[in-house]
A and B are shown apart, each in its own frame.
Chain A
Amino acid sequence: MTSQPFPYLLLPTFWAARNRARRREPGDSARLMLFGSIGLGVGAAIFAAVFWLTWQLDYYEELGDYLLRLGLSWLFLTFLSFLAFSGIVTALSTFFLSEDLRLLVAAPVAPPRLFYSRFARTVGQSSWMVATFLAPVLLAVGLARCAGPLFYATALLALAAFVVIPVALGSVVTLALVNVFPARRARDVLMLMGLLFAVSLVLMLRFLRPERLLNVESLPDLTAFFATLQSPVTPLLPSFWAGETVFAALRGGVDWVHAGALVTTALAFAVMARAAFVRYYFSGWSKAQEARKARFTRMRGLDVLARRLPIRPLGRSLLLKDVKVFLRDTTQWSQLLLLVALVLVYLYNFRVLDLERIPYMGAMVKNVYAFVNLAMAAFVLSAVAVRFVFPAVSAEGPAFWIIRSAPVPMRSFLWSKFWTGLVPILLMAEALTVVSNRFLGADPFLRVLGAVAIFFMSFALVGLATGMGAQHPRFNAENTTQVAGSYGGIAFMVLAVLYILVMIALLAWPSSLYLWHRFRELPVPARSQAWMALCGLAAIALSVGTFWASMQKGIRSLEDMG
């Protein structure tokens, strides 16, 4: 039996990261620059905002202190549920689904050692995002209040203890789930649970209509709003202890009660999780290896429907395969739930938007909003495309040999991916634009323009996503989210946003010129008409060019593969 301490089991992770850093692949430097700049930019923005806010709160003395204390507590509370859920999902992968576990479980490694190494990995993986976000926040608060080194040391300790508690709890929940369901089925259950949780949170927050708090007439609501923050349960949560500990350190003192509660609870939870894992891990692990017969729907209706479509056999085969694989993969289609919720919230926002409150400006503001709406709809479209269309080629995974060794031209293959992505996205984008413009009460001219523009934009953005997905495939990715978050996915989003901005500029200027003349019942001068036509043609050319060039590049890159 190995006598090495548990960090020894983490060495392969570090070595793999080190080797990856040493062996740069083409495009790695550009990727590092891009992600690094985005990360630094976001970090700097968070730091600046929190620094400014803390600086401002300093002017309000006691009220400022109260709000800062409340803010810290709320920040930790927000992360508490996120960490617990993230802990559940990560523990499923690190304790039960990782490929290297077969080697480790078969090796003479004592269960507590295996637990510690995997738990350390779970804590790291599920909390790095929270830590990365909190670092500039706590740094900004500390610098704005000129805090001493004690504050930073306490914040670090509090953060470490704080993340251990929900992750330990999440790991134990996973252990219980895996002992009840097989691990792969448990993953589906968790995905659905998490998404339903996220969807209900988004809907609940939106339907509370927080914009009411911004009205002067609703100041009494503001007081009530803050009163609800102080529920009797709050002081019993680790988030409250962490907030209090950090706040006390900010004022130069040590809150021994809350710091003690935080650290001892973290230790107790870790010990409890260790005991549970030593007792139940092997039975759960063993169950995770069992391949149960999966239940699934045969979707015979889809076969019948596809047979009636006027497409070639090859296109029909690819379409049927793609749709069935998508719908049978819970991790794929369940994300549509989140999408539906976001679309509902989006439309609801337009429903409750009260532009009539702005006297004389109503019509103009509405028309400006019609373009904001178009940009937003196109942005939603890009977000959907990066998640569902961009990974379409990569989704073939290691099974891509089937297509490549078959007499299938890469052109036909990529066009099939394009049409499969375009139809649902076009329908969604059109519905979104038409319904929201109707709720908004935009001018009929703009309603037609919006519908036509989003038609062209759908072609361009879906073409861009399909083509770039073929240029930057990741056939070894574990899931499509990883593909969407890759360098190619980010590059697609950057290009998509640039395209949307140029399109809006090309459409908004001639439209506003036309409406200005129409409201004043003046004829549009010939010179302006020529400019307007030129802008319209440029928008069409840009869309067709983006769509066509991306698809051609994608096809070429698939043909040149290997």
Chain B
Amino acid sequence: MILVENLVKKYGAFTAVDGVSLEVASGEIHGFLGPNGAGKTTTIRIIAGLLKPTSGRVLIDGQDLSVSPEAAKASLGFIPDRPFIYEKLTAGEFLRFHGGLYGMDGDGIGHRVAEVLELFELTKWEGELVESFSHGMKQRLVMCAAFLHRPRAVLVDEPMVGLDPRGARLIKQVFRHMSARGVAILMSTHTLEVAHEMCDRISIIQKGRIIARGTVDDLRRLAGSADEQLTPVFLKLTGGAGLQEIDEDL
């Protein structure tokens, strides 16, 4: 569903993404982990069509993003890490507008808007301006928009930032539900527990390159770690094991 081949992004002499390849199948939740500045967000933004890659290609539902960007984007839902939305629109207006961008019009959209608002527990806020929303509510509204047009693939950059435990649980349930219905989800996160709990497979990126990929068990084997938790495995693979020792000393 999401296919990334040899993606490279250079900023002058600096290579932010260096030959990244990924494949997320229909119904799969794929975790995308890495330390700060490893190239996660850059990769996600390229797949979302926000950044032009220096080389490589991205296919969404078989459509090449650089050849037919509109067709590729039509199958994709994107949830960015920071939920910037039009502050002077109400939640309902924003979703209707968003639907319009994906070609949804007419009476059907009202029903679908009500459906997603209910799914993300925002129904009673439909008529309120976005500017009065908290960060978590904005994040949930962006998720409503991402699922509004029934995408076949969803890109998520740091889904749990700013969400309370109830909101986080809700998002996990929704993601599981969507994946069961065949939606491919590529999720970048720092929250290793979330990745451990939800992802079918995980790719770890460091200095712009994928250094490990597989299920949590595969990664554990690769790191030579018998630890149940993902954190020590991640630190071992990314060379940050020293940090854990400091953490334990403290």
Contact = CB atoms under 8 A, between A and B. Distances in A.
B228 interface: no
Contact of A294 (B76, B93, B132): B132
A421 B73 CA distance: 28
Given A324-B93, A397-B84, A405-B76, A317 B50 contact: no
A293 B133 CA distance: 9
Chain A interface size range: 20 to 34
B97 interface: yes
Contacts of B72: 407
B78 interface: yes
A18 interface: no
A406 interface: yes
Interface string A415-447: 000000000000000000000000000000000
Q: Main SS of the interface on chain A?
A: helix
Contacts of B98: 402, 406
Nearest to A327: B88
B80 interface: yes
Contacts of A313: 100, 103-105
A403 B84 CA distance: 12
Interface string A391-418: 0000001110111111111000000000
Interface centre among B78, B88, B104 (most CB of A within 10 A): B88
B49 A405 contact: yes
A404 B145 CA distance: 14
B171 interface: no
B52 A562 contact: yes
A293 B88 contact: no
Contacts of B89: 321, 324-325
Contacts of B102: 406-407
A320 interface: yes
Contacts of A24: none
A405 B48 contact: yes
B214 interface: no
Given A325-B89, A406-B73, A291 B97 contact: no
Interface residues of B, number: 39
A329 B130 CA distance: 13
A559 to B, nearest CB: 9
Nearest to B48: A405
Contacts of A397: 84
B218 interface: no
Interface in B17-56: 45, 48-52
Interface string B93-136: 10011111111110000000000000000000001110110000
B88 A316 contact: no
Contact of B84 (A291, A399, A560): A399
A316 B105 contact: yes
Contacts of A402: 85-86, 98, 101, 145
Nearest to B46: A562
Given A296-B129, A317-B96, A407 B101 contact: yes
A328 interface: yes
A23 interface: no
Nearest to A328: B88
Contacts of A399: 84-86
A20 interface: no
A279 interface: no
B177 interface: no
B208 to A, nearest CB: 17
A318 B80 CA distance: 21
Given A293-B128, A401-B78, A314 B101 contact: yes
A314 B103 contact: yes
A407 B70 contact: yes
B88 A398 contact: no
A411 B89 CA distance: 24
B51 A562 contact: yes
A313 B102 CA distance: 9
Interface string A521-562: 000000000000000000000000000000000000000111
Nearest to B133: A291
Contact of B97 (A293, A298, A320, A560): A320
A292 B85 CA distance: 19
A1 B59 CA distance: 57
Contacts of B105: 313, 316
B69 interface: yes
A294 B131 CA distance: 8
B73 to A, nearest CB: 4
23 contacts: A291-B131, A292-B132, A294-B131, A316-B105, A317-B96, A317-B101, A320-B93, A324-B88, A324-B89, A325-B86, A325-B89, A328-B88, A328-B129, A398-B82, A401-B78, A402-B101, A404-B50, A405-B78, A407-B71, A407-B73, A407-B102, A408-B101, A562-B45
Given A317-B96, A317-B99, A406-B98, 16 more contacts: A313-B104, A317-B100, A318-B100, A318-B101, A399-B84, A399-B86, A401-B48, A401-B80, A402-B86, A402-B101, A404-B49, A405-B73, A407-B102, A408-B70, A560-B52, A561-B52
The 7 closest A-B CB pairs, nearest first, are A317-B100, A313-B105, A398-B84, A406-B101, A407-B70, A407-B73, A562-B51
